[in-house]
């Protein structure tokens, strides 16, 4: 088949990277110790990633770096330093969630290619249009896009589109999950998700189960359809997995992608190819396979709440535990070297370990079989009754050592203009105007037989003998028929490079300093103190006119007469001053949304509140509107505010996960007025998947949540039982959201405001 997409594989460490390349991946994506959405993976050091990049170049492969978390104001300088180092590594693209980091890259590292992370939440062609305005070259789509929607999105888009094809799924819309953050500050938007979606929950009606834990994504059968859509890249999830998983997943998908035309007919892969690929995948422990959100049917059955939300093969049950180890009864063979997860029945996160020793009847053994009672040493107490899942085979070690690999060398590309006459050589460097023209004076005799040629001069000067300098375009002008012995030409070439090379390297270092951190800090400080109060800094309150209001609500509303009255687009009335736009609209619903916005505009509405990037490209046609950015569109630093300002936004709302100090820093540096979400019950999880419960639920610790289903959008959302409430911050306006909360509720939480957003 034509237009075979790139096969992109995860690499949590060097062994995974080698496994990916050896088994047919076209590219890998990896992380560094900070700012990665997979903080728990091993990740690479800067030196290791440089070596992997150099190795990939030799193999004609690509390396993408995931710097895909939200950044606090206090972290921007460190982020910049990361990017300064990465720029020298030959990385093929940076995967980014925070649009403030997009602004930083475009401003200071313009040659870097940027891919929009799935955490950006882009799920339709309007979102891709906004991404193009910001200078992205590729968008990794939201996972919750159907294959029919995908086909239309790619057709309308002018950027590369990447999609997930295999691995674990998040059941919430990407970037819209604050589930983990709400129960302890461990933010999925910072790479530290504790996976509360995999736990058991209990409804008031007595039903219990794993209501938010989806099956794993598998698309071998869908590969012909994915190819037909025109996607540029298909991605395997799994930076937390080891090399054995990468080997199997990459091998299986490579086999299907490489199937020749006569192996695929009528959009179906031949049974022999598909069977072999499935057999390869089946050896990798995981959850039940599904088509994820790609089909309506799969979306409805994606979550089997009766099954534990655990990855791996069930192999044993814990029947005894002590501080030094635990005893299990084996139901499926386990061996020394296997990686296991010990999973409490509650569904709470359990520890993972590699089995380094096993005892049967106090005798050391290397293997166990069904029915055996085995003791496994472990320096952590585990709960009796916990289930033991095998999550990986003995870790594969590559025969290559990353320590022995050279780091990537990023040479200076130097163009040369060479002019030759009877008096000698005159050489200038057009890319380095501050370096003086070099003159090599010598008498050059007229040619009697063999004249100097342009190609001879180019071949001579192409070698610099300096690793950090590489010649680019060599332009040669020769006045007359001249002759020069090769020994004289080599000597002159050597003198030129010995003289010029230090100046090139020194000027390059000066340029880095000039355009480096000091320049960044200067631009960063331009907006300090600029966030002055204005008409747009009035408090705002959000209401839904279709909800019945009690006396307290009416009284509270009367106290906010001077505030801006906001209503949803779906149900606004004549009292509305600003319209709140929906944060999710699939591709087929876009035209209706645009029509509804047009109708609101024609009724006189001039204020719109965007909650997703895709709104920006829709509102660009209206030149006289005031646009505010609000939850769940994240603004955690001033560069994000600056990026939004460049896109026509007038006011931003501070990200609700942030602690007090981070919010204050945002307010101080932001070039736009900042609004603070002060009161309300925002959604902390939203999914297109069918969820079996509605109303109040609780976890095994008694923490309560509320599940609501929206028939219009088809979304199922989770809310905290407690109302979000924080105090005023100086020089900001406040947002009071009564769409899901009543005024004066006493059960409140300040989220991470008085703690730390980690």
- The pLDDT confidence band at residue 254, using thresholds 50, 70 and 90, is very high
Range in 21-30, 486-495, 536-545 with the lowest mean pLDDT: 536-545
**Domain boundary, last residue among 489, 515, 541:** 515
| 396-430 residue pLDDT tens | 566 678 888 888 888 888 999 999 999 999 999 99
- In a shared domain, residues 386 and 464: no
| 193-223 residue pLDDT tens | 888 998 899 998 889 999 999 999 999 999 9
* Tally of domains within the chain: 4
Q: Which domain holds residue 596?
A: 527-749
Q: Is the dihedral of CA 356, 362, 363, 368 positive or negative?
A: negative
- In a shared domain, residues 536 and 504: no
Residue 408: the pLDDT is: 86
Residue 40: the pLDDT is: 59
- Residue 303 burial by CB count (10 A; 0-12/13-18/19+): exposed, middle or buried? buried
- In a shared domain, residues 24 and 116: yes
189 domain residue, yes or no:
no
Helix (H) or strand (E) holding 294: none
pLDDT at position 470 over 80 = yes
Q: Average the pLDDT over 635-654 and give the result.
A: 96
Contact in structure between 64 and 272 (CB atoms under 8 Å): no
The residue written with tokens 């780091």 in the block is 407
- In a shared domain, residues 720 and 652: yes
Residue 513: the pLDDT is: 44
Q: Average the pLDDT over 682-710 and give the result.
A: 94
Q: What percentage of the chain's residues is helix, strand, coil (to nearest 5)?
A: 30, 25, 45
155 domain residue, yes or no:
yes
Residue 538: the pLDDT is: 84
- The pLDDT confidence band at residue 554, using thresholds 50, 70 and 90, is very low
Tell me the C-alpha distance between 613 and 127, whole Å: 6
- In a shared domain, residues 490 and 538: no
- In a shared domain, residues 381 and 460: no
Q: For position 555, which CATH number holds?
A: 3.20.20
- The pLDDT confidence band at residue 70, using thresholds 50, 70 and 90, is very high
308 domain residue, yes or no:
no
- In a shared domain, residues 357 and 454: no
Closest to 334 (Cα-Cα) out of 350, 316, 310, 308? 316
379 domain residue, yes or no:
yes
pLDDT at position 544 over 80 = no
DSSP 533-578: --GGGS-EEE--TTSPP-HHHHHHHHTTTTSEEEEEGGG--TT-SE
pLDDT at position 323 over 80 = yes
113 domain residue, yes or no:
yes
- In a shared domain, residues 736 and 621: yes
**Domain boundary, last residue among 374, 402, 430:** 402
- Report the DSSP beta bridge partners of residue 704: 698
Q: For position 143, which CATH number holds?
A: 3.20.20.70
- In a shared domain, residues 500 and 541: no
- In a shared domain, residues 558 and 603: yes
pTM: 0.86
Tell me the C-alpha distance between 640 and 36, whole Å: 18
Total residue count of the chain as it appears in this document: 758
Q: Show Cβ contacts of residue 156 under 8 Å, excluding neighbours closer than 6 positions.
A: 125, 128
- In a shared domain, residues 602 and 682: yes
Tell me the C-alpha distance between 734 and 100, whole Å: 23
Tell me the C-alpha distance between 383 and 365, whole Å: 24
pLDDT at position 592 over 60 = yes
Q: Average the pLDDT over 716-721 and give the result.
A: 96
- In a shared domain, residues 663 and 572: yes
Q: Average the pLDDT over 507-529 and give the result.
A: 62
Q: How far is CA 199 from CA 305, 310, 349, 722, in A?
A: 10, 9, 8, 20
Give the mean pLDDT of the chain: 89
């Amino acid at each position: 088949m034509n237009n075979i997409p790139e096969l992109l594989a995860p690499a949590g460490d060097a062994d995974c990277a080698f496994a990916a390349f050896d088994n047919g991946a076209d590219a890998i994506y990896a992380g560094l110790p900070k700012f990665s959405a997979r903080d728990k993976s091993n990740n690479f050091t800067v030196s290791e990633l440089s070596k992997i990049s150099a190795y990939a170049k030799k193999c004609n492969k690509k390396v993408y770096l995931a710097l895909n978390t939200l950044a606090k104001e206090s972290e921007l300088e460190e982020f910049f330093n990361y990017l300064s180092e990465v720029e020298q590594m030959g990385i093929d693209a940076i995967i980014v969630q925070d649009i403030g980091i997009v602004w930083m890259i475009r401003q200071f590292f313009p040659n870097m290619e940027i891919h929009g992370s799935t955490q950006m939440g882009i799920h339709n062609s309007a979102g891709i249009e906004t991404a193009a305005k910001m200078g992205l070259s590729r968008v990794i789509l939201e996972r919750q896009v159907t294959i029919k929607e995908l086909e239309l999105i790619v057709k309308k888009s002018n950027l590369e589109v990447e999609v997930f094809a295999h691995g674990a799924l998040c059941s919430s819309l990407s970037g819209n999950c604050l589930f983990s953050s709400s129960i302890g500050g461990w933010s999925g938007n910072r790479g530290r998700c504790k996976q509360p979606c995999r736990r058991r929950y209990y409804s008031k009606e007595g039903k219990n189960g794993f209501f938010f834990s989806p099956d794993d994504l598998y698309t071998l059968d869908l590969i012909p359809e994915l190819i037909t859509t025109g996607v540029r890249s298909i991605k395997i999830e799994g930076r937390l997995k080891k090399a054995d998983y990468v080997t199997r997943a990459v091998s299986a998908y490579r086999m299907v992608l490489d199937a020749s035309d006569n192996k695929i007919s009528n959009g179906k892969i031949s049974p022999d190819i598909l069977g072999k690929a499935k057999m390869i995948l089946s050896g990798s422990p995981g959850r039940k396979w599904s088509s994820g959100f790609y089909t309506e049917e799969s979306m409805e059955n994606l979550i089997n709440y009766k099954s534990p939300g655990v990855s791996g093969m069930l192999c044993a049950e814990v029947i005894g535990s002590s501080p030094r180890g635990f005893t299990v009864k084996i139901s499926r063979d386990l061996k020394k070297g296997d990686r296991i997860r010990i999973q409490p029945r509650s569904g709470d996160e359990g520890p993972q370990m590699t089995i380094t020793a096993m005892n049967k009847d106090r005798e050391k053994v290397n293997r166990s079989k069904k029915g055996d009672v085995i003791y496994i040493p472990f320096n952590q107490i585990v709960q009796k009754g916990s289930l033991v899942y095998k999550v990986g085979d003995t870790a594969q070690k590559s025969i290559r050592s990353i320590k022995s690999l050279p780091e990537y060398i990023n040479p200076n590309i130097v163009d040369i203009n060479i002019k030759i006459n009877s008096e000698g050589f005159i050489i200038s460097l057009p890319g380095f105007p501050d370096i003086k023209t070099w003159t090599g004076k010598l008498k050059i005799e007229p040619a009697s037989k063999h004249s100097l040629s342009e190609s001879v001069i180019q071949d001579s000067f192409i070698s610099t003998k300096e690793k950090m300098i590489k010649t680019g375009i060599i332009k040669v002008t020769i006045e007359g028929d001249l002759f020069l012995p090769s020994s004289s030409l080599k000597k002159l070439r050597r003198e030129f490079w010995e003289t010029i090379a230090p100046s090139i390297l020194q000027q390059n270092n000066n340029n880095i300093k000039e355009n480096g951190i000091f320049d960044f800090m200067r631009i960063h400080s331009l907006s300090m103190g600029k966030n002055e109060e204005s008409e747009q800094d009035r408090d705002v309150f959000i209401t839904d006119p279709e909800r019945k209001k009690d006396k307290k609500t009416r009284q509270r509303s009367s106290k906010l007469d001077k505030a801006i009255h906001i209503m949803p687009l779906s149900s606004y009335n004549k009292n509305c001053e600003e319209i709140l736009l929906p944060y999710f609209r699939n591709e087929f619903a876009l035209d209706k949304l645009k029509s509804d916005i047009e109708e609101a505009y024609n009724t006189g509405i001039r204020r719109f509140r965007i909650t997703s990037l895709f709104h920006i490209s829709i509102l660009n046609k209206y030149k006289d509107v005031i646009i505010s950015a609000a939850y769940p569109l994240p603004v955690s630093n001033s560069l994000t505010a600056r990026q939004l300002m460049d896109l026509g936004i007038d006011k931003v709302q501070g990200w609700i996960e942030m602690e007090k100090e981070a919010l204050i820093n945002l307010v101080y540096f932001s070039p736009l007025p900042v609004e603070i979400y002060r009161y309300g019950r925002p959604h902390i999880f939203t999914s297109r998947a069918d969820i079996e419960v509605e109303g109040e639920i609780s976890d095994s610790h008694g923490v309560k949540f509320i599940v609501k289903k929206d028939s219009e959008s088809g979304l199922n959302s989770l809310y905290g039982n407690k109302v979000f409430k924080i105090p005023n911050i100086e020089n900001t306006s406040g947002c009071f959201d009564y769409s899901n909360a009543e005024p004066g509720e006493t059960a409140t939480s300040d989220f991470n405001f008085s703690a730390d957003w980690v």
